[in-house]
Homo-oligomer: A and B are copies of this chain.
Amino acid sequence: MDTSVKNKIKSIVGQENYFDSFEDRLVYSYDGTPVIQQMPEAVVFPQDEEQISKILDLANNVKFNVVPRGAGTGLSGGSVPTENSIVIVMTKWNKILEIDEKNLTATVQPGVVTGVLQKEVEKLGLFYPPDPGSLNVCTIGGNVANNAGGLRGLKYGVTKNYVLGVEMILPDGKFLRTGGKNMKDVAGYNLRDFIVGSEGTLGIITKVLLKLIPKPTKSITILAYFDKLTDSAQAVSDIIAAKITPAMMEFLDNTTINCVEDYTKIGLPRNVEALLLIEVDGRGSEVKEDAETVKFILKKNKALAVREAFDEAQANILKTARRSAFSALARRMPTTILEDATVPRSELPVMIEKIVKASKMFDVMIGNFGHAGDGNLHPTALTDEREQKELDKAHRAFNYIFDEAVKLGGTITGEHGTGLAKKQFLEKVTGPVGLDMMMRIKKAIDVNNILNPGKIFSLAPKCEGALPKKREQIKNFNEQSSE
């Protein structure tokens, strides 16, 4: 990128919000996704909508790429820079602008941390259900861009079910406001829901209006262990078939249980094949009734032990342990590739078997856990990216896992998004017609393909050139530093 262009960008955002040293660019050269990385040309922290608009204008005029970014917790490379790009960081837009108790809504800037918002609304007896594993770090803007899920998706749905309105700067620099505080709105096309999950390719989110619901007042958390994986999967199916909708129904396999126990030391048994962590919630007597039915079904499916958390503190310890699964697995090996293949709930037992098979067939250590009630699993390869052979084995295993998920009517990604990491698999799910439709829409909205290009799909073969490189730069940097 020309110095003159860099100077123009600097003059838009101001010297103090512009960074292009090697170290600054390095920090924003990757996100939560393993293996992929690319250095941006510069990193900027815009102060208002007008600055974002001017940057996008400039990008269209002199042709550079713009990659928006929140906390960078994404697991599909959606915020990894592309070639010839600048990163727009939105984390400082972190104000909760309004909590409207009459309409049960919250208006927030995109950089608000999800867990912070949850705590604020819960003080008022309200509830913002979407709870991605990274909720204490990730931001609402990123959640909206990825349509983030979480543990409570089964009963409460995902981010899109709570987005009432979005303000954003479109790729051509124009300001769009869509949606509002109306519970129903069918005026024109549903742009709002289309923007949710578009991974920063259709605009840069500057404000989000969220729906809140009354907080459930009662909950019961139940823990069960199983000698056999298949029994735990059958229990999950039976609970759904019994017309109970738990707030969460989480599954951990033996590898994950052991890693979590190493990490948290809360006394999980190390020799069981599976664990289910189930929470039922609500406001009335049905909570207790549901808990009893759940316990009955667990025992019928040969659960070794079925325990009810005796208070909220204990329930929270269990839920926190579950949330630590990714971090716990990540300690085991240098590289952790966490995926989110998802299948119809009835296919969960089959999919769990297929993942076990993939681990053996391709000789990769795969821990498996996830949102069993959703059919949303997190098979996690524990590998070492420094060994290309090991990495190749992991990729082959996931290729097999995605194929099997799609054969079962499933999808390659339940909640992480497509980004860079999974775009090669996208057509398996969308088919050529769906993929073509997506690409046509991107072209119609981002004529010069300057906003987060190459994510989700590549508009032209040349864009493959923008595929991120491996972590060479980090190695080089480390070598430089130690010299």
Question: Which positions 178-211 of chain A face chain B at CB distance < 8 Å?
Answer: 178, 180-191, 193-194, 196-198
Copies in the complex: 2
Complex interface: chain B residues within 8 A of A105 (CB) = 344
**CB of A177 closer than 8 Å to a CB of B:** yes
Q: How far is the CA of A276 from the CA of B245 in the complex (A)?
A: 31
Q: How far is the CA of A214 from the CA of B289 in the complex (A)?
A: 15
Q: List 25 A-B contacts (CB under 8 A).
A: A103-B345, A126-B243, A146-B186, A147-B186, A161-B161, A174-B433, A178-B434, A180-B409, A183-B375, A183-B376, A184-B414, A185-B411, A185-B413, A185-B414, A185-B429, A187-B418, A188-B434, A189-B194, A189-B197, A189-B442, A190-B194, A282-B282, A284-B286, A285-B285, A286-B286
Q: How far is the CA of A186 from the CA of B456 in the complex (A)?
A: 10
The reply to whether A176 and B437 form a contact with Cβ atoms under 8 Å apart is yes
Q: How far is the CA of A433 from the CA of B283 in the complex (A)?
A: 43
Q: Which of B190, B197, B345 contacts A147 (CB 8 A)?
A: B190
Interface string of A231-269 (1 = CB under 8 A from B): 000000100110111000000000000000000000000
Q: Which of B188, B374, B410, B456 contacts A188 (CB 8 A)?
A: B456
Q: How near does chain B come to A202, taking the closest CB pair, in angstroms? A: 8
**CB of A426 closer than 8 Å to a CB of B:** yes
Q: Which of B176, B188, B342 contacts A418 (CB 8 A)?
A: B188
The reply to whether B180 and A410 form a contact with Cβ atoms under 8 Å apart is yes
Please, how many residues of chain A have a CB less than 8 angstroms from a CB on the other chain?
93
**CB of A457 closer than 8 Å to a CB of B:** yes
Closest 7 CB pairs of A and B: A284-B286, A284-B284, A214-B243, A181-B344, A184-B414, A285-B285, A102-B346
Q: How far is the CA of A194 from the CA of B440 in the complex (A)?
A: 14
**CB of A149 closer than 8 Å to a CB of B:** yes
A243-B214, A376-B183 given; A188·B426 CB < 8 A: yes
The reply to whether A180 and B344 form a contact with Cβ atoms under 8 Å apart is yes
The reply to whether A441 and B189 form a contact with Cβ atoms under 8 Å apart is yes
Q: How near does chain B come to A129, taking the closest CB pair, in angstroms? A: 14
**CB of A421 closer than 8 Å to a CB of B:** no
**CB of A158 closer than 8 Å to a CB of B:** yes
| A interface residue numbers (CB < 8 A to B) | 100-105, 125-126, 146-147, 149, 153-154, 158, 160-161, 170, 174-178, 180-191, 193-194, 196-198, 213-215, 237, 240-241, 243-245, 282-287, 289, 342-346, 371, 373-376, 409-418, 422, 426, 429-431, 433-435, 437-438, 440-445, 456-457
Complex interface: chain B residues within 8 A of A438 (CB) = 188-189, 191
The reply to whether A197 and B190 form a contact with Cβ atoms under 8 Å apart is yes
The reply to whether B190 and A411 form a contact with Cβ atoms under 8 Å apart is no
Q: How near does chain B come to A463, taking the closest CB pair, in angstroms? A: 16
Q: Please name the residue on chain B nearest to A422 by beta carbon.
A: B187
A184-B158, A186-B413, A188-B418 given; A240·B346 CB < 8 A: no
A284-B285, A284-B289, A444-B440 given; A414·B189 CB < 8 A: no
A189-B456, A245-B213, A440-B445 given; A178·B103 CB < 8 A: no
Complex interface: chain B residues within 8 A of A426 (CB) = 187-188
